[in-house]
Structure 1
């Protein structure tokens, strides 16, 4: 009888320890209204979370393990990557990446991974030019012979002929660069290879 009583006491003691431990851990963990996310340590995910074929801008000139520079090199030795991009990685050196239209209608007729030459939308720079002044036509010796101009009173004299005019034309001032480009920051594009 005493042996049974000791076993029950031990089980009761263990139960109480578990209950106290649960209540204590619940009090520390808090609930949805008292949770403070600033006290949780946040660590960045490893680069291994990038899927094979994923392209990212890289802020170093050294390519990390498992990646290749996007410089048009062969995918030989990287079967999974080759199945996605083909025999070579894209050559993105000095290139801007444009989102694939995929039916939106902004950049029609393009297939994914296709290249596009530079272009400038057709436009004009119109300017209005106004001129005015006068020209004097002298009397006397003319080219190839002599002539005399007379006014209505038959007196020889110079004639002052005023003129004015307005016209329009196209004026495109020269730019200072060798290409059209937005402000930008240079980074290396790399692709997940394995």
Structure 2
């Protein structure tokens, strides 16, 4: 573990320094008066500043892995602090307690991902070892997808197709309104001028042998015939009267809805911290 050599001044028990209450009452706006600074006042001032410097140095050493010493240059200390801050906000190693772990999907209101992030469009995780460890060979394609909390018995990162929960609709008592007693009636459609074909029965004489007064036989048979031509007309239809009644309605309702099941929503892109 990297060390931090910047230690707080006069931080031990019983140190020669002012109490916090006395320090708060002390007028610090003009600094020490010439020739009047006491060791207690000086120790308190150095202790306050060195405490902040020590905490800063410890953060830089722990997060960067670089030793923070009293003889390092300012630029070195700044670099160590930047590295520690990067580590803290998890730009690469997934430190517990960091702001956003690598691999976390985040809604993003732009079509381009910011630096260090990737749009989640099913692309390869090659070159991103942490993402490969979390997601496998490819990122999920989050376009048109919702995230759902993983319930017991379901695998993390498993997918589901859209679905409507099985249910029934009560048939109720749907029917037509009561029509009352009535006699259905109406007319046929006009047929226009026309005639009807039919077969008529007729007879004729054959050879001698009786049947007619003159002694000839009679032969009876059917022959095609036509009625006389009737002008265009229609036929009246009158049915037997019926009592008041209703008619039941059967069958299915018509199709309703679109091509998918979805809640009300707003579109964002999902991005993931890449490294």
TM-score by length of 1: 0.58
Is 2:183–2:239's contact at 8 Å kept on the other side of the alignment?
A: no
Instruction: Report the Cα distance in structure 2 between the residues aligned to 1:59 and 1:47, rounded to whole angstroms.
Output: 22
- Alignment of 1:13 with 2:38, yes or no, is yes
Match of 1:93 in 2: 143
**What RMSD over aligned residues (CA atoms) do the two structures have, in Å?**
3.5
Q: Give the C-alpha shift of residue 123 in structure 1.
A: 2.8
**Number of equivalent positions:** 140
Shift of the 14–58 alpha-carbon distance from structure 1 to 2, 3 Å rule, reads same
Shift of the 99–22 alpha-carbon distance from structure 1 to 2, 3 Å rule, reads same
Is 1:70–1:189's contact at 8 Å kept on the other side of the alignment?
A: yes
For structure 2, the residue ranges without an aligned partner over 5 or more in a row are 1-34, 49-87, 92-98, 187-237
Is 1:130–1:166's contact at 8 Å kept on the other side of the alignment?
A: yes
Question: For residues 36-67 of structure 1, what are the alpha-carbon distances to aligned partners after superposition, in whole Å with 9 as ceiling and x for unaligned?
Answer: xxxxxxxxx96743212111111211111221
- Alignment of 1:50 with 2:100, yes or no, is yes
Highest RCO, 1 vs 2 (Cα 8 Å, sep ≥ 6): 1
Instruction: Report the Cα distance in structure 1 between the residues aligned to 2:258 and 2:40, rounded to whole angstroms.
Output: 80
Match of 1:111 in 2: 155
For structure 1, the residue ranges without an aligned partner over 5 or more in a row are 1-9, 24-44, 104-108, 139-156
Question: For residues 79-132 of structure 1, what are the alpha-carbon distances to aligned partners after superposition, in whole Å with 9 as ceiling and x for unaligned?
Answer: 12101110000111011111110x2xxxxx431111111111223443411343
SS in 2 for 1:68: strand
Is 2:178–2:244's contact at 8 Å kept on the other side of the alignment?
A: yes
Instruction: Report the Cα distance in structure 2 between the residues aligned to 1:120 and 1:67, rounded to whole angstroms.
Output: 35
Shift of the 184–52 alpha-carbon distance from structure 1 to 2, 3 Å rule, reads same
Match of 1:130 among 171, 176, 191: 176
Match of 1:63 in 2: 113
